[in-house]
Amino acid sequence: MDNVRDAITVTGLKATGYHGVFEHEKRDGQEFTIDVTLYTDIRPAAATDDLALTLNYGELAEVVIREIQSGPYDLIETLAERTAAAIFSHYDDAARLVALDLTVHKPQAPITVPFRDVTITIHRERP
């Protein structure tokens, strides 16, 4: 791929998940948001105007929402890793998806002082 790193980004994917170390988080759930950037070479798709030659962001959104709704996990670190693995598994053509950045937002985290958001951001290369 000659080091081309074009980016496809989807932000604000939201769903209710049941992740957290406290029993009430697993029982009641809360909204989680995930942002993802996929690194690929978009030139083949751009040259042919062919969706089959790029990474379909509609499919990406469905994979991410399924992962938020899975689990439950104690840690958002686990949610981030499992979501990244699911994305790589979905796009199993190693030549197309070479890396990703993923941020999990937990704006309703059980913190006793005022705050806006808690995030975990990871960067992963294709295994």
Question: pLDDT per residue over 11-32, tens digit each?
Answer: 999 999 999 999 999 999 999 9
Is 106 marked active-site?
Answer: yes
Mean pLDDT for the chain overall: 94
- Active-site entry in 82, 106, 111, 122: 106
pTM of the model as a whole = 0.93
Distance CA 19, CA 32 (A): 9
Q: Which CATH architecture has domain 7-110?
A: 2-Layer Sandwich (3.30)
State the alpha helices, DSSP H only, in the chain: 23-28, 43-48, 57-68, 76-90
Which two tokens mark 35? 């942002």
